[in-house]
Amino acid sequence: MKIATFNVNGIKARLNAVTDWLDESQPDVVLCQEIKSVDQGFPREPFEDRGYNVETHGQKGFNGVAILSKRPLEDVRRGLPGDDSDEQARWIEATVMGDHHAVRVCGLYLPNGNPAPGPKYDYKLAWMQRLEARARDLLADEMPALMAGDYNVIPQAEDAARPEAWKDDALYLPQTRAAFRRILNLGFTEAFRARTEAPGYYSFWDYQAGAWEKNNGIRIDHLLLTPAAADLMTDCQIDAFARGREKPSDHVPVWIDLAA
C-alpha cells in the first residue's frame, strides 16, 4: 500500500500537477495539505474519476487538509484534539483497510510559527504538544498508524542546503527541533531517515530567488510511523522531480510503501 504526503499549495491551482503525479505515481492514499479551499469548493471529480475517495477538512483561504484514497476510509475524524477553540483546519485522520492490516493514517499541516518569538510561535509549540498527546494515544492502540504531512520542522542540519540561513527561523529553532524529537522518541520511526542517511534530500524549495535551480531546499515533509507500521515499511522516497514540472507546488510528494 503506497501512502504519500503532499502539500499542494492550493488544490484548485494545482489540479493538473496533482492529477499528473497521481497518474504516474499511482499512490493508494494521499494526505494533502494546504488545500486552501472550503469543503464545498474542493474539486472532487478529477479524483473520484480516478477511483479515489475524497475526505476533506477545509477552511476559507488558508490551511486545509484532505485524504484521497483508492480504498474505503472508515472512522474519519477532523481536527487535532486538545483545543476546542482552535479553528484552523490542520488535521484529518481515518482508517484504511489493507489486504492484511488496517492502518490508521493521520494527515497534518503543522503551523509555520514565524515570526519567532511571538504568538504564532507560541501556537506552533502548543500545537506540537497536542500532537505529542495524539501520538501517545496512537502508540497505545494496536493498529499500525502513521502521522504524515508538512511538519514545518527541519529536523537536522543535513536536512537543509543552507542550515545557517535557518538558525533563527521557527522551522529550525532548538525548541522546535526538540519538540519534534520528543515525539520521535516516544517510539516513532521517521520513514525517510530510517532508509537514507545521506544529506541533500529535500521536500521544499522556495518559489523565490531560484531556490529549485540552486537546489536550495529543506526537508520538512515527514512520515512518522508507529513500530507496528515501521515493521511493514518496504520503501520510502521523495518525488523531487515534481518540483521541476509546470506550475508546481513549492513542496513535493514524499511516500512510503507498506506491506499492509
Q: Which residues are catalytic?
A: 109, 150, 251
At its nearest, how many Å lie between DNA and the CB of residue 176?
11
Strands 91-97 and 73-78 come out as antiparallel
Task: Tell me the three cell numbers of residue 255.
Answer: 511516500
Q: Could you count the other beta carbons within 10 Å of the beta carbon of residue 134?
A: 19
Is 208 one of the binding residues for DNA (CB under 7 A)?
yes
CB 181 within 8 A of CB 169: no
In the block, cell 500545537 appears at: 127
* Binding-site member from 56, 68, 103, 111 for DNA (CB under 7 A): 111
User: Among 135-143, 183-191, 201-209, 228-236, which window interacts with DNA (CB under 7 A)?
Assistant: 201-209
Which grid cell sits at 30?
Answer: 494521499
Number of residues that bind DNA (CB under 7 A): 32
Binder to DNA among 117, 207, 234, 245 (CB under 7 A)? 207
CB atoms within 10 A of CB 63: 19
* DSSP assigned state of 167: T
- H/E segment holding residue 23: helix 15-25
5 binds DNA (CB under 7 A): no
Q: Is residue 86 part of an annotated ligand binding site?
A: no
> Between 45 and 84, how does the x/- string for binding to DNA read (CB under 7 A)?
---------------xxxx---------------------
Give φ, ψ of 114 to 5 degrees.
-85, 150
Exposure string of 74-90, with b = 16+ CB inside 10 Å and e = fewer, is eeeebbbeeeeebebbb
| CA separation for the pair 232, 32 (Å, rounded) | 22
The least distance separating DNA from the CB of residue 72, rounded to whole angstroms, comes to 28
Q: Which residues have CB under 8 Å from 13's CB, separation 6+?
A: 36, 247
Binding of DNA at residue 245 (CB under 7 A)? Answer: no
Coil/strand/helix, residue 236: strand
Out of 131, 250, 255, 260, which residue is the one contacting DNA (CB under 7 A)?
250
Instruction: Give the nearest distance from C-beta 203 to DNA in angstroms.
Output: 9
**Which residues between 19 and 38 bind DNA (CB under 7 A)?**
34, 36-38
Which one of 28, 55, 150, 159 is in contact with DNA (CB under 7 A)? Answer: 150
The answer to the question of residue 198 lying near DNA (CB under 7 A) is no
Q: Is 150 annotated as a binding residue?
A: yes
Does 159 sit near DNA (CB under 7 A)? no
- Amino acid found at 259: A
Instruction: Please identify, using beta-carbon distances, which residue of 163 and 187 lies nearer to DNA.
Output: 163
The x, y and z cell numbers of residue 183, run together, are 515525539
Binding-site residues: 7, 34, 150, 152, 250-251
Q: Residues comprising the binding site for Mg(2+)?
A: 7, 34, 150, 152, 250-251
Residue numbers at the binding site for DNA (CB under 7 A)? 7, 9-14, 34, 36-38, 41, 60-63, 111-112, 114, 120, 150, 152, 171, 204, 206-209, 218, 220, 247, 250
